[in-house]
Amino acid sequence: MQIGYMRISKGEQTTAHEARCVSESSCRKNLSRCDEWSQGDRPQFQAMLDFARPGDTIVVWRLDRLGRSLKHLIETVMGLQARGINFRSLTEHVDMSTPGGKFTFHLFGALAEMERDVIR
């Protein structure tokens, strides 16, 4: 099963664009969350992790939707892989079920962290 996960940082933002992209990728279950990453309270994120089973794929619009930092992103994806759960990011065309996807994941993860730091 493909599970879509969407996240926005501020209440005035919307997940509409993410939802459209994720739904076009045939996700059967979608979870979304408006949260401040620094607060650490992410019930929908945890619900997504708890719901996913071996053979499932977590789908996000962009890499930075899944992790607070490069370290957190890598830990999360490696934890998913250890449980037999695949990961896909639509914008960066990352599919962790392929060697090229694994390489691209690490490359774009670093770029996403830099972009977030520049914005701050």
3-state secondary structure of 5: strand
Catalytic residue among 9, 23, 26, 97: 9
User: Measured over all CA atoms, what is the biggest interatomic distance in the chain, rounded to whole angstroms?
Assistant: 38
Residues 6 or more apart in contact with residue 16 via CB below 8 angstroms:
none
| Angstrom distances, CA of residue 26 to CA of 6, 86, 90 | 14, 15, 12
Q: Active-site residue 9, yes or no?
A: yes
Active site residues: 9
